[in-house]
Amino acid sequence: MQNPELSITRADTALVDDPTTAYIAYHDKYVIVYDFSQIDASVATKELTLLLEDLESAGLQTEVRAGYEDSLLVLVQAPRELLGNTVHHSRVKDWLYGISKKHPGGTSNTIVAGANEAEDLLSLYHLVTWTKELGGAGITPGFGKWENVTSTFPLHNPRTNQKLLVHLSKRFFLSPDDLDQIRDLWGTKVAFYFAFIQDYFLSLTFPCVAGVLAWAFLPKYSLVFAVVICVWCTVFLEYWKLREVDLSIRWGVRGVGKLKVNRPQFQFEKEVKDDVGRVHHVFPRWKRIVRQLVALPFLVLSTILLTSVIVFVFALETFIVEGYDGPYDYYLEYLPTVILALLLPFINNYLEGLAARLTEYENHRTADYYEMSLTQKIFVLQSISNYLPIFLVAFVYVPFGQIFIPLLRTYILSLAGVAVDPDFTFHVDSNKLRNEVITLTLTGQISSAIEELALPYLKNSVKDWWRTYRTSHTFATGGQTKFVKGDDPMEARFLRRVRKQASLAPYDVHEDISEMVLQFGYLALFSPVWPLIPIGFFINNWFELRADIIKITIEHQRPAPIRNDGIGPWVASLEALTWLGSLTSAAIVHLFGFSNSTIYGFNRWWTLPITIFASEHIFLGFRAGVRWALHAIGSEHIRKERSELYAERKKHLDELEASSAKRGHLDVVERERRKSVRMTAADVFWTRQVEEGASRRAGVGIIRAMKGTYMDDLVKEE
Amino acid sequence: MQNPELSITRADTALVDDPTTAYIAYHDKYVIVYDFSQIDASVATKELTLLLEDLESAGLQTEVRAGYEDSLLVLVQAPRELLGNTVHHSRVKDWLYGISKKHPGGTSNTIVAGANEAEDLLSLYHLVTWTKELGGAGITPGFGKWENVTSTFPLHNPRTNQKLLVHLSKRFFLSPDDLDQIRDLWGTKVAFYFAFIQDYFLSLTFPCVAGVLAWAFLPKYSLVFAVVICVWCTVFLEYWKLREVDLSIRWGVRGVGKLKVNRPQFQFEKEVKDDVGRVHHVFPRWKRIVRQLVALPFLVLSTILLTSVIVFVFALETFIVEGYDGPYDYYLEYLPTVILALLLPFINNYLEGLAARLTEYENHRTADYYEMSLTQKIFVLQSISNYLPIFLVAFVYVPFGQIFIPLLRTYILSLAGVAVDPDFTFHVDSNKLRNEVITLTLTGQISSAIEELALPYLKNSVKDWWRTYRTSHTFATGGQTKFVKGDDPMEARFLRRVRKQASLAPYDVHEDISEMVLQFGYLALFSPVWPLIPIGFFINNWFELRADIIKITIEHQRPAPIRNDGIGPWVASLEALTWLGSLTSAAIVHLFGFSNSTIYGFNRWWTLPITIFASEHIFLGFRAGVRWALHAIGSEHIRKERSELYAERKKHLDELEASSAKRGHLDVVERERRKSVRMTAADVFWTRQVEEGASRRAGVGIIRAMKGTYMDDLVKEE
């Protein structure tokens, strides 16, 4: 159609249906999806008008096209001048708030090109979503007056995506440069996840080797292996904390949290003007604290609910599989698992919805705080449904099963009116714990891979096919087909891509991180049960990393390149798991690692608290030691940052030091002046020895007198 | 003698023997004591010459007078220009290193008066002690070539000291202004101690009230009281941490640690020049870490040594008092206590000396790190000798005494060859624990008061009297008397004061803080034993605060006004004690708080670990909650500091925002330009709806079509 060479430079390329998609710039495009299916035409018209006005008032250019179904695609492009200036402003603001150490130079009208797509898109994201007071268009999808804006997203850059995938498929480990590429594409928030999974994956080699050795040479439920894993968890975590600092300095996002603007959902109680004329929107802190305390009963109740569901299903399963031999035995065996599989996602979903509403109620000022609070709640819920079954097997079923399962059986059978066989004895399957851990971790990995990759891909493919089919075969749906079919042929392919991306779900990096954290938890909590677990994780994570990149490129809208200086609250979750692991590992080794039923000469249940107590405090002491040592060694990047700061200061100091060199001895003139000024008696003291050498003569005189030598010697010497 | 009114202004007053001492300026005077008793006259002469040359090369004026015995007093005064300029330099440096947020103004030759005596004296201290490269005279008392310089100190300001004492005697509580006065006189390091003791004293009202209530209404060894005290410890500590930040911002010393220069004792392995041309003296971190690890076996061995001494004396005492009825019974009873009283200080002194040498070996770069490391070691040693006796009574003597004391008795008697009475039974004194705690805390307070106040006062008085007596009655000592007697009558009284201060010990604030920390420890660890302990502490601390001020003014050299941003490593010690307290309190309540020997239906010794475990985790959870809440509420001063920072930034932002207001709609000219430039196909997409309202029309058209309304309506509407 056109000569591709002509449109190669960044500024004058645009979104067209270029067959190679190579020459389209994606750094200045944003898509807003407006859904008018729920409202009537006049309201929709008004809202659309307002939407376009707001976008234009922020200086953005718009093109409107039809979307799938009752939706519009508002394609937004920032003029080069506006985007370049916004990027520059953003850099100046970084400098003002101490995120970057050097002023970027230029004046308030300077136009710069972003260092990468992510930087440009972040500024564009701000132009679209920030409030008008901050210079944006104030588009807040799904909230307030923009309830019908279903999503806003930047467009995927297919060429760079593909390049990244090809590049990564050739590398076994990711270098910092590879992480930089991810950062350039999707911003630091996503890049930190990949940095984490990469570091975690690499460090897993250690437990893998240890696991193989333990499996080959150590007894089952080995204490040594448990200690090794606990040490590894601690060291890895402390190392990762330093690494977060290093990376955030490398990417220039250290302390970026304080720069974040108010969430649109944030409701303030009053406006406070501070000394420097800044207006703060204030919601009293104590109120938020009180509201956050509501989370406690919520979590307690959720825990009880989840526990009882799991315990119930578990008891039923145990009973049917191992204690029940009544009618329909064979079919009933699978019933509890089916019930749990049906119930748990439903309950979890419900609870997570409640958690989100609770967090909304807490009224956090920034999106960061909101995410942090919600993440922590969801983490607790997920932990319970993931780890509780293993806890039950380890600390209830195996040790007490022999006692309570026959009782349970008798009770249920009597309820069912079946005759009880009094001679029934029950033997606990001693491998049950190991099998449970293996099953849960293995099926967890596989099912999550299916859930994350295969299912959405199938779903999207089917949806896609259905739409295409309908568009080309049906005429009954009227307008929609008309508009989609009526695309300008030059734009058709491009619009098809935009429409497809508009129908995808946004990407939530926390879901992926939480998966890794849960995996880490299995290791930290139950490592002594089966030392080969880390190998499964190691293999899984190699694929996981690559699969997640594919997932983002194919199954999700491109994430807004939001900046973060780490994986945030997840570090606290990892620390909690490691701590808890020091308790559970010790308990597992204590209960299962010894063949006789007494330990230290006493019943093992009495000595269990002592073991746990000792293990926990050894862990805490060790952790304090690791922290202290790593703190003393420190972060390379922090030192570099400091010396850069110093360079700036040095300029000032130099001037001062040059002048201080001139000070020193009072010169003769000054000395004479001092003697000649009208002296008060107060000055007399300090002028007695003002002559050069007078102090010395006086002192030496005293020394000689005390040592019994005469003043004469002194005079002779001189 | 002279008209006092004439010398009232600061600059031209000087050190003379003014009877009122009111018109002498102390902000620019420093005293160096040179002791030549160990060396011969020629060496002394050389050293003195060097000393005076070094002082003069730093621009300082000197007057030499005879001191007591074989010593010289080198009186140092900084000329106004030099001192004022040094103060200014110091402020600029603070600004450069981010301690203060505003440039102090002025050029490198600016001369300013310090805001208070402490600021001037700090600069003078730097002029005397810093190396020549840093612009000082490099006088390092007792180290290197200045081994014979016994001390350097600023002179006490008797008038201000007295004013402060009179002022404080009228106040029951210290206000922040009162703390400011202490800071003005002795610097922040000392002021932080008084701030701490003041806050601690105030907060003690809470455990006092709780203690009285517990004593009146609660059973002995009350769980409720233990919980209350643990809560109080936690809240107080977290509050104090915020308070440290507040005060350090108020006093402009936040982060002052990074400004500290190398200790003279620091030995570096290599000089490293960084990118900005700064020379770093480097001692490898891993080497220091390895050296610090030596402290572990040292502390373990010290603990074993102290424990065995205490256990031995304790066993002996118990045996003699309660189990022995052989010959010399009456006299022998007091023997163990006497042995312990003689042994412990000796052993402690020896161990503290070792700790100091170990810390020296660790080769810390700054005096701060050195102090921190030494303080922590000494704290561990002190804790053992203070708390171990109570631990032994609580967890060994009372629960097991009945079993092992008869055995011990039999064993010792058989060793002594005395016939054993097989019917002997021993009854543990159930009040022993309470008595032990009361005795230790009460006698501790009294003996420390005597040790700190009365003894040094007596010692100094006697010394003083002896010197005066000798000076006036003896002529055999020769030179010394001659010089001291030969003082210029105008200077005599002043010199007497200087000589007296030169003979005093320097003040070590850590000793006073450690006393308070140990006291806090008694509360945190053993509160349920006797709920009235806090009342004794409360009364003691009211006097302690005032006595410490008197102590500094009378019995110590005036401390150099060194800056610090808190009480440093002691906070960690307090935290450790609180944590440990959550274990010991629970254990005491568990063992002594119930009259029957079973708890939860089991032997109390089996359930003890469970209680401790639960108590510790409740404590940790509660502490996390308090930290979270206080962190959310935050520090008032930090917010203030931030808004000051913002004021500076605002200036920059204003310019930017003014220009951003001009942005917005593309104007008509620009729009036409865009249409008229030679367009590539890539641009076509983005110019389709460039006309005003075109996007809107397109969008509304789609909406209406989809909703089944006609374009005509739209046209009509418009």
Task: Inform me whether the C-beta atom of residue B372 falls under 8 Å from chain A C-beta atoms.
Answer: no
pLDDT at B495 over 80: yes
Query: In the prediction, which pLDDT does A169 show?
Result: 82
Contact list, B483 vs chain A (CB under 8 Å): 702, 705-706
Other CB atoms within 10 A of residue B173 CB: 9
More confident residue, B388 or B104: B388
Contact list, B285 vs chain A (CB under 8 Å): 632-634
Sequence-separated (6 or more) residues with CB below 8 Å from residue B631: none
Judge contact between A200 and A233, C-beta under 8 A: no
Q: Which of B35, B76, B610, B686 to mutate to test the interface with A (most CBs of A within 10 A)?
A: B686
Judge contact between B392 and B312, C-beta under 8 A: no
Report the distance separating Cα B600 and Cα A373, nearest Å. Answer: 38
Judge contact between B158 and B24, C-beta under 8 A: no
Model confidence pLDDT, tens digit, residues B598-612 = 555 667 777 888 888
Q: How far is CA A480 from the centre of its chain?
A: 40
More confident residue, A180 or B689: A180
Contact list, A647 vs chain B (CB under 8 Å): 275-276
Judge contact between A55 and A62, C-beta under 8 A: yes
Where does the pLDDT of residue B193 fall: very low under 50, low under 70, confident under 90, or very high at 90 and above? Answer: very high
CB contact under 8 A, A685 and B629: no
What's the start-to-end Cα distance of chain A, in Å?
103
Q: Which of residues 676-715 of B touch A (CB under 8 A)?
A: 680-686, 688-690, 695-696, 698-700, 702-709, 714
CB contact under 8 A, A653 and B96: yes
Model confidence pLDDT, tens digit, residues B174-187 = 888 999 999 999 99
More confident residue, B403 or A44: A44
- Our CA-based measurement puts residue A507 at a distance from the nearest CA of chain B, in whole angstroms, of 28
Model confidence pLDDT, tens digit, residues A6-65 = 333 333 333 444 444 446 788 889 999 999 888 888 888 999 999 999 998 888 888 888
Name the stretches of chain A with pLDDT < 50.
1-22, 475-479, 662-678, 710-711, 713-718
User: Which residue, A50, A437, A490, is CA-closest to A220?
Assistant: A437
Q: Which three-class secondary structure string do you get for A395-455?
A: HHHHHHHHHHHHHHHHHHHHHHCCCCCCCCCCCCCCCHHHHHHHHHHHHHHHHHHHHHHHH
CB contact under 8 A, A647 and B688: no
Q: Which of residues 173-212 of B touch A (CB under 8 A)?
A: none
CB contact under 8 A, B688 and A62: no
Judge contact between B264 and B363, C-beta under 8 A: no
Q: Which amino acid is at A385?
A: S
Distances (CA, A) of B253 to A262, A358, B104, B257: 32, 41, 15, 9
Query: In the prediction, which pLDDT does A556 show?
Result: 92
Nearest to B705 among A65, A479, A706 (CB): A479
Query: In the prediction, which pLDDT does B313 show?
Result: 82
Task: Inform me whether the C-beta atom of residue B52 falls under 8 Å from chain A C-beta atoms.
Answer: yes
Nearest to A12 among B49, B482, B683 (CB): B683
Query: Roughly what angle, to the nearest 10 degrees, separates helices A205-217 and A533-555?
Result: 150
Contact list, B288 vs chain A (CB under 8 Å): 632
- Our CA-based measurement puts residue B571 at a distance from the nearest CA of chain A, in whole angstroms, of 16
- Our CA-based measurement puts residue B463 at a distance from the nearest CA of chain A, in whole angstroms, of 20
Task: Inform me whether the C-beta atom of residue B286 falls under 8 Å from chain A C-beta atoms.
Answer: yes
Other CB atoms within 10 A of residue B219 CB: 12
A593: its two tokens: 């690692």
Report the distance separating Cα B565 and Cα A260, nearest Å. Answer: 30
CB contact under 8 A, A135 and B708: no
Report the distance separating Cα B701 and Cα A479, nearest Å. Answer: 10
pLDDT at B357 over 70: yes
Task: Inform me whether the C-beta atom of residue A24 falls under 8 Å from chain B C-beta atoms.
Answer: yes
CB contact under 8 A, A681 and B16: yes
Q: Which amino acid is at A352?
A: E
Nearest to A77 among B45, B681, B686 (CB): B686
Judge contact between B634 and B245, C-beta under 8 A: no
- Our CA-based measurement puts residue A333 at a distance from the nearest CA of chain B, in whole angstroms, of 39
pLDDT at B672 over 60: no
Report the distance separating Cα B286 and Cα A633, nearest Å. Answer: 7
Task: Inform me whether the C-beta atom of residue A65 falls under 8 Å from chain B C-beta atoms.
Answer: yes
Distances (CA, A) of B294 to B298, B300, B356: 7, 10, 13
Q: Which amino acid is at B152?
A: T
Q: Which amino acid is at A146?
A: W
Query: In the prediction, which pLDDT does B479 show?
Result: 47
Model confidence pLDDT, tens digit, residues B550-571 = 889 988 999 999 999 889 889 9
Sequence-separated (6 or more) residues with CB below 8 Å from residue A54: A132, A137, A138, A139
Task: Inform me whether the C-beta atom of residue A23 falls under 8 Å from chain B C-beta atoms.
Answer: yes
Sequence-separated (6 or more) residues with CB below 8 Å from residue B308: none
User: Which residue, B352, B547, B517, B344, is CA-closest to B452?
Assistant: B547
Sequence-separated (6 or more) residues with CB below 8 Å from residue B86: B78, B123, B124, B126, B127, B135
Q: Which of A299, A686, A687, A716 to mutate to test the interface with B (most CBs of B within 10 A)?
A: A686
pLDDT at B458 over 90: no
Q: Please give the DSSP secondary-structure letter assigned to residue A319.
A: I
Query: In the prediction, which pLDDT does A2 show?
Result: 39
- The CA-CA-CA angle for residues B2, B6, B10, to 5°, reads 115
- Mean pLDDT is highest, among A10-14, A24-28, B93-97, B424-428, for A24-28
DSSP for A454-514, please give it.
Answer: IHHHHHHHHHHHHHHHHHHH--TTTHHHHHHHT--HHHHHHHHHHHHHHTSBPP-HHHHHH
- Our CA-based measurement puts residue A473 at a distance from the nearest CA of chain B, in whole angstroms, of 18
Sequence-separated (6 or more) residues with CB below 8 Å from residue A302: A351, A354, A380, A381, A384
CB contact under 8 A, B647 and A276: yes
CB contact under 8 A, B663 and A478: no
CB contact under 8 A, B682 and A92: no
CB contact under 8 A, A63 and B666: no
Query: In the prediction, which pLDDT does B659 show?
Result: 53
Task: Inform me whether the C-beta atom of residue A363 falls under 8 Å from chain B C-beta atoms.
Answer: no
Judge contact between A311 and A303, C-beta under 8 A: no
- Our CA-based measurement puts residue A168 at a distance from the nearest CA of chain B, in whole angstroms, of 31
A440: its two tokens: 């849960």
- Kindly report the pTM of this predicted structure: 0.82
Rounded to a whole number of angstroms, the CA Rg of chain B reads: 35
Q: Token match 């208070």: residue?
A: B116
What is the percentage of chain B residues whose pLDDT exceeds 90? 26
- State the number of CA atoms in the 13 A half-sphere of A347 facing the CB: 20
B498: its two tokens: 């200087």
Counting one residue from A and one from B, how many pairs have CB atoms under 8 Å apart?
315
B474: its two tokens: 């003896």
Judge contact between A14 and B686, C-beta under 8 A: yes
